[in-house]
Amino acid sequence: MAMYESEHTKFMREWLEKNPEQRDEQKKGRALWWDKPQSVEDQKRVATARVPVKAYYYDANH
């Protein structure tokens, strides 16, 4: 059974094969926006600053 592959995925796969130098650019972009080092202190700070969400968000009486 064949797995589905979108047109965009096929295009990107072929394009990256033709332009292998773009893999480094792709990794740099990912590192810039997503791959950030996280410390335990930062994780604790974010967890303590989290505000609980109401059960029904639009209920103004509670």
- Which pLDDT does position 9 carry in this prediction? 95
CA atoms within 13 A on the CB side of 29: 5
Predicted confidence (pLDDT) per residue in 4-61, tens digit: 999 999 999 999 999 999 999 998 988 888 878 889 999 999 999 998 887 887 877 7
1 pLDDT higher than 70: no
Rounded distance between C-alpha atoms, residue 62 and residue 48, angstroms: 22
Q: pTM of whole model > 0.75? A: no
